[in-house]
C-alpha cells in the first residue's frame, strides 16, 4: 500500500462543475502539499497546509489530521484547470512523499 | 525573481556518457531539492540540501548518481555513466525554511533521454 493515495486517478468534468480530488496518507506528517502539473510539465505549488482549510481563488484545500485525509476542491471549473494534481506529504525533515497524481480534464 | 532555473531543458545522450544537470535556486532560499519523475514511479525525491549541506540522499538510486552544492546559488546532479533507465524528467526545487508557509518552488525540469 502506498503511503500516499489519491483518488480518482482520472477525472473528466464539464466546464462549470464542482470538482473534488481526494488524498489519503498513512504516515505522520508535518504538512501536506497540493501541486499542479500542466501538460507542458511545469510544477506549481498550490497549497501547503497542516490543519484546517485554505482558499485561493476557485481552489480550496482541506485537511483532517485525525482521519489522515485531504481534499482539493475546484469551484466553477474551467478548461484551463486541466492538469495533473499531485498530493505530497512532508514527513521527516523536508522529505516529500508523492501520490501518483490525478489527471483532470475539463471539457468546454 | 526569475524563479528556479534549470539547464539544460532537454538532454539526449548515449548510454555510458556523463550527464550533468544544473540548478540555480531562488535567491535567498536555503533548501534545494532534486526530484526525478518517470511514468512508472512518478515523482521521487533524490536528495536535498540545507544551507549547501546534503541532508538526505537516501533517494539517490546508486553510486552512478552524485549531487553537489558548492554555494548557495548553484547545484549540480551528475550521472556517470548514464543508462537508458535514467531517462526521466529531473526537477530542482528550492524553498526558504524560515517562516510558516515555506512551500517549494519548482524549476521547469530537465528532460533527459539516454539512448
Question: Is the link from the previous residue into B84 a cis peptide, with omega within 30 of 0?
Answer: no
* pLDDT tens per residue across span A33-86: 999 998 877 899 999 998 999 999 999 999 999 999 999 999 999 999 999 999
Model confidence band, residue B92 (pLDDT cutoffs 50, 70, 90) = very high
| Residue B96: predicted pLDDT | 86
Please give the mean pLDDT across all residues of chain A. Answer: 92
* pLDDT tens per residue across span B41-90: 889 999 999 999 998 888 898 889 999 999 999 999 999 999 999 999 99
Contact in structure between A96 and B45 (CB atoms under 8 Å)? yes
Grid cell digits, residue A86: 499531485
What is the nearest CA distance from B14 to chain A, expressed in angstroms?
A: 23
Q: Using beta carbons and an 8 Å cutoff, which residues of B are at the interface with A?
A: 31, 33, 42-45, 48, 50, 55-56, 89, 91, 93, 95, 97, 101-106, 108-109, 111
Whether the predicted pLDDT of A92 surpasses 70: no
Length of chain A: 108
| Residue A41: predicted pLDDT | 78
- The mean pLDDT value for A82-103 works out to 88
CA B20 to CA B42: how far, in whole Å? 22
The answer to whether B43 contacts A42, with C-beta atoms less than 8 Å apart, is: no
What is the nearest CA distance from A81 to chain B, expressed in angstroms?
A: 19
Q: How far apart are the first and last CA of chain A?
A: 36
The answer to whether A43 contacts B97, with C-beta atoms less than 8 Å apart, is: no
| Residue B103: predicted pLDDT | 80
- The mean pLDDT value for B103-115 works out to 93
| Residue B21: predicted pLDDT | 98
Nearest CB to B42: which of A33, A41, A100? Answer: A100
* pLDDT tens per residue across span B18-28: 999 999 999 99
Q: In sequence order, what E strands does A1-108 have?
A: 4-7, 10-14, 19-25, 31-37, 43-49, 52-56, 59-64, 69-74, 83-90, 96-98, 102-107
**Which residue from B minimizes the CA distance to A86?**
B43
| Residue B101: predicted pLDDT | 54
Question: Is the link from the previous residue into A90 a cis peptide, with omega within 30 of 0?
Answer: no
The answer to whether B103 contacts A48, with C-beta atoms less than 8 Å apart, is: yes
Q: Using beta carbons and an 8 Å cutoff, which residues of A are at the interface with B?
A: 33, 35, 41-45, 48, 86, 88, 92-101
DSSP three-state, residue B95: strand
Amino acid at each position: 500500500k502506498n503511503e500516499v493515495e489519491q483518488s480518482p486517478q482520472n477525472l473528466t468534468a464539464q466546464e462549470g462543475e464542482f470538482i473534488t480530488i481526494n488524498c489519503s496518507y498513512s504516515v505522520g506528517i508535518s504538512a501536506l502539499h497540493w501541486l499542479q502539473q500542466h501538460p507542458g510539465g511545469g510544477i506549481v505549488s498550490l497549497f501547503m497546509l497542516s490543519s484546517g482549510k485554505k482558499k485561493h481563488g476557485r481552489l480550496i484545500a482541506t485537511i483532517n489530521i485525525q482521519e489522515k485525509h485531504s481534499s482539493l476542491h475546484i469551484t466553477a471549473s474551467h478548461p484551463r484547470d486541466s492538469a495533473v494534481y499531485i498530493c505530497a506529504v512532508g514527513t521527516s525533515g523536508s522529505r516529500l512523499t508523492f501520490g501518483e497524481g490525478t489527471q483532470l480534464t475539463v471539457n468546454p | 525573481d526569475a524563479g528556479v532555473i534549470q539547464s539544460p531543458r532537454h538532454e539526449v545522450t548515449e548510454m555510458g556518457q556523463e550527464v550533468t544537470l544544473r540548478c540555480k535556486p531562488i535567491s535567498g532560499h536555503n533548501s534545494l531539492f532534486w526530484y526525478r519523475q518517470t511514468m512508472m514511479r512518478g515523482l521521487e525525491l533524490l536528495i536535498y540540501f540545507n544551507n549547501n549541506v546534503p541532508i538526505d540522499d537516501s533517494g539517490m538510486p546508486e553510486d552512478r548518481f552524485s549531487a553537489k552544492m558548492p554555494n548557495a546559488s548553484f547545484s549540480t546532479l551528475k550521472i556517470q555513466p548514464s543508462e537508458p533507465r535514467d531517462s526521466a524528467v529531473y526537477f530542482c526545487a528550492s524553498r526558504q525554511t524560515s517562516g510558516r508557509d515555506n512551500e517549494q518552488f519548482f524549476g521547469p525540469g530537465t528532460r533527459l533521454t539516454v539512448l
